[in-house]
Every structure is written in structure tokens, then in C-alpha cells.
Copies of this chain bind each other. A is one copy, B any other.
């Protein structure tokens, strides 16, 4: 699944406004309670007019979701461990820890609070891309690897479900989820 983003042209005025507004949101969130963050405050911090923000994002929820999705964009490729199972486990353990952290929970919540499915789908697409990277490496080594959708359902889904609706899984439990995703996947070339 391609990650189609309708982002602004890099380096243009629109991109500079976006970068500066995003930075302002991150800085305000770092030093005050989110309930106190308002669009006029963000505009002041970013050096733009409030109407610039209203025009582009419509409302605060949408802007917070946009910033959260951007923060959830992976900034590195999954670590190489020598096997597909090892790569997936290392990546999924880190993902589980990041998402269960205070910042991770806030980001998930912001992403889900906005209207529309675009933000959540971008988050899903980011996870999918990382898993595809791991799967492609495994394929290059002729290793068996589960379908990407099976990894989403069996590894990512329980991690997020537990964070949102129950208690976050202990990191040690992630290995069991990864084993579950590999169950029934034949050995050898896929």
C-alpha cells in the first residue's frame, strides 16, 4: 500500500508554515497541559496569524492529529538482526514500548480524535511499510515470512488494543505475538 500524502511542496512557503506551526505545537505541548493549548497561542508561538491556522487545519483537533501523525512517521529502518523473525521482534518490541509511553498514548489519542480516517490510515501505512521492509529482507534471504496483513492482525493489533482498551502488554509478551504470526508459515523459500 503506497503512502500517498498530500503534503506541501518541500521548501515552499506552505511547507515552511507547516514546519513552523508543527514545531510550535510540539513546543507548547512540551511545556503546558494540552487542555491549555489553543490556536491563538500556537499562532503566536509560530509567528503566523490564527487565520492561517484556521484556514489550513480548520480546528485544533485536526492540527493536533496532523502533528501526531507526523511524529509517528518512522525515522529509521528496522534494525537488521540476521533473520526475519529477529527483525520483526526487535521492531515490534520497540513499537510496543514507544506506543505505550505517555507520548505514544497522547499521539494515538490525538490521531483518533480528529474527524475522518486519513490520520489513522497513515499510521497503519507507516507500520505496514516497516513490516514490508523486514519482509523484503527475509524474501531476499529465501526465508519464510508471514503475510503483512497477518502481522498487522497478530502483532500490531493486539499491541494497540491492549494500550487503548486494557493494560499495555509487557514487552516480553511481544515475542509470543510474533511467534503467533509465524505459526503456520512454512519454512524455506516463500
Instruction: List chain A positions with a Cβ less than 8 A from chain B.
Output: 109, 112-113, 120-121, 123-124, 152-154, 156-158, 160-162, 164-166, 177, 180, 183-184
Residue from B112, B121, B154, B165 in contact with A154 in the complex, judged by beta carbons closer than 8 Å = B154
A180-B154, A183-B183 known; A166-B109 Cβ under 8 A: no
Q: Which 6 A-B pairs rank lowest in CB-CB distance, beginning with the nearest?
A: A157-B161, A153-B158, A157-B157, A124-B165, A157-B158, A120-B165
Residue from B121, B154, B165, B183 in contact with A166 in the complex, judged by beta carbons closer than 8 Å = B121
Nearest-Cβ distance from residue A62 to partner chain B, whole angstroms: 13
With most chain B CB atoms within 10 A of its CB, the pick from A156, A158, A184 is A158
With most chain B CB atoms within 10 A of its CB, the pick from A152, A160, A161, A184 is A161
Residues in B whose Cβ lies below 8 Å from that of A153: 154, 157-158, 161-162, 177, 180
Residue from B113, B157, B164 in contact with A120 in the complex, judged by beta carbons closer than 8 Å = B164
A121-B165 in contact (CB<8A): yes
B161-A165 in contact (CB<8A): no
